[in-house]
Chains A and B, each alone.
Chain A
């Protein structure tokens, strides 16, 4: 089994701690970019995540341009268009959520719109409708509502709306004019 470690190590960026920073290799196209990407991710993980603690209660609209973890209570609306929202195990949300990705370990009552992914983890709970290209629901999670996965149009959210409507030609009489405009 000791050989397993050695064989797994080479994709070093995956091991978060104790591994030397990835060195761009000459002659390997994209290696430098990949290294920068990993470095960027590491920065995100260590710096640009804000926490809302257990005792915090927010009523109203929450906007932001960095990743956010909520352990407290939020009522109203949360908007993190290009970032990840994590509802911690103690988080209680009664809000409409717009984010890039949403990870739920606590409770959410309200609709969720994510441009990338919604992930309801074990013991996470959602009562509301989800619109996202990818949805993962763990065993033990609670969910009641609807799931709309906007088929085959994940990469460009604005285009997805335009594409989705012409797909049902008889049902959307007003759409062609709008798309053409």
Chain B
């Protein structure tokens, strides 16, 4: 196995990332630059950055591998990851921007005027962030092993080092440029090889296309197993459609828009960019069915995108394409890890490292840097220690937790005056503990197929309604605790900025 193109690709991406990050550093000076790029990012740049940040290893590698192994029911992952932005657009985007908060805990505190809700939200942001970060680091190890033959610990360490260098030096402002660059890199790194591979497939006489569909089950867009299969599919849909709005790195991006209208337009561009990208991974999955079926059999389907060019196109062209997809995959780890680290570091710096400690208080930017170190090192250690569960599946679990906690908090907090702090905490606890327990069970043990496994593997379909019901029920029971400023807060969330109101 030649490793030259892989090494070249990884080094180029790392250098480009650091260079763009350093360029951004020149314009990053204040804490506001660090956290929200001073809220001055236009819709197109911001949308590219959101796309770059959002398309993680799960999208770049995981979806194609899942499609290869399990078939077209896995197409629900990319659909849900895109449709999540439509739900976000319709219910959350503009009001969230208008709330004027930095992070999810900020939103919670502004809405309820309660430090306790804030603390619960902070814990959840960190938990979801870690659950999402560690498969990214594991995927990086996998990629470098496949591309370069390096031991699996090299990838996480390299990604962690680059992310840390960028995040702690330039913060959100420089990351915005890095992320936007990485979206387009990822798109081309998947598009060009796909075009060549499809051409090769035609030249080969389209193997697999004319087969009279012996693999009905592979083509059915449902998880197998009848009733539980249908449940798993719908639960996945619920988790991804509703989970997107609760992901810390997605939400933090909305605060960088100049106003609510720009937040909506940004989201619309994101929908288009994601739709474009997600046309590609299934192509790899389908081609892999004809050319690389043994990867699925040996349980290494996550490396399908990386191995397919080499398997289908011998010689120099194949090596060059391999280099390209490796670059894209590496960009995927870097961008998602950076975004999540920023989100987690932002929360940590506000609620932990920025607090006075033994009478001393770290300055804003220093607190952010310390938070960033924690946000990178902890998932790095988890990636090295925890078992490999499949990139897309682990990310799917993070979505389930986000859908069961922040989704009800945001939806009810934005659209219902009656939500109280007690209701919010009870709902976050019910949804978080319910989905969290299911995640822990899934990660720790493999159970036999059937209803119990289905319910644990995809908890969203029961944990999301549970969280909503708890929030509404407890809020109704504690009606006297509705914050006095709720009416004013609603005005701020829903009126256009052009209206000259005193926004508090």
Q: Decide whether A and B assemble into one complex.
A: no
